[in-house]
Structure 1
């Protein structure tokens, strides 16, 4: 039996998250690992982006999208014969993921990554996996980029 028995997949239905879902499925089957899927509602960043004018409707729409993404990911894993549970979380991604790893003792964190180009590399936020690499001790972080089309 592998020492990697619990995995955490961060999922939001983006192309990067789809690639991470596929890699997570492969790893879970190979390692016979249980998967926790986390879908995050980051209203903090969204509120800051719109200068504090985020409406209740926008917040509920973000939550609805996150629930749909969570259901889709858990359904995909269940169809592949993988034991998976979904968790809807609220907050900044690096904080939420770190707390979930600590609470549920995830050995592997699988997260999608979009390569920034041009000015976005300088003006965009720092990638979540870099913050996680500094925060998570003893967990393996698998960062997946979608294949080039």
Structure 2
């Protein structure tokens, strides 16, 4: 049996996340690993972007979108013959994913990433895989990187 038996896929529906889903599928089949998928409702960042004016309707729309995105990922994995469990998690993405990975005891965390160039490298948030690598001791972080934007 492989030492990598539990995988966690961070999925938000972006191209990067779709590439990560493909890689996660391949790895799950190769390793016979169980897969959990998390979709994050990051109301903290959304509230900051809206100057603290995020209403209840907008919050419920964020949660609805996350549920739909999660369902899409579960269906795509099922199409590849993988039974996955989905979870909606709340909070800042890196905090929520770290909490879930720790409670799930994930051996592998798969996340998508798109390399940025120019000023975008400086103005955007720090990539999640860097923060996860610092927080998740004992887990392998697999970052699926798409070409420069």
TM-score range (shorter-chain normalised) is: over 0.9
Distance apart, 1:106 and its partner CA: 0.6
What residue ranges of structure 1 are gaps of 5+ in the alignment? none
CA contact (8 A) 2:43 2:91 kept: yes
Q: Tell me, yes or no, if structure 1 residue 136 matches structure 2 residue 125.
A: no
CA distances 1:13-54 after superposition (whole Å, capped 9, x unpaired) = 100000000000000000000000000000001101111011
Distance apart, 1:148 and its partner CA: 7.3
Distance apart, 1:83 and its partner CA: 2.1
Partner of 1:123: 123
SS in 1 for 2:62: helix
What residue ranges of structure 2 are gaps of 5+ in the alignment? none
RMSD: 1.4
Question: In structure 1, what is the Cα distance between the partners aligned to 2:87 and 2:4?
Answer: 20
Question: In structure 1, what is the Cα distance between the partners aligned to 2:96 and 2:116?
Answer: 23
How many residue pairs match? The answer is 149
SS in 1 for 2:125: coil
Distance apart, 1:146 and its partner CA: 3.0
| TM-score between both structures, scaled by the size of structure 2 | 0.95
Partner of 1:54: 54
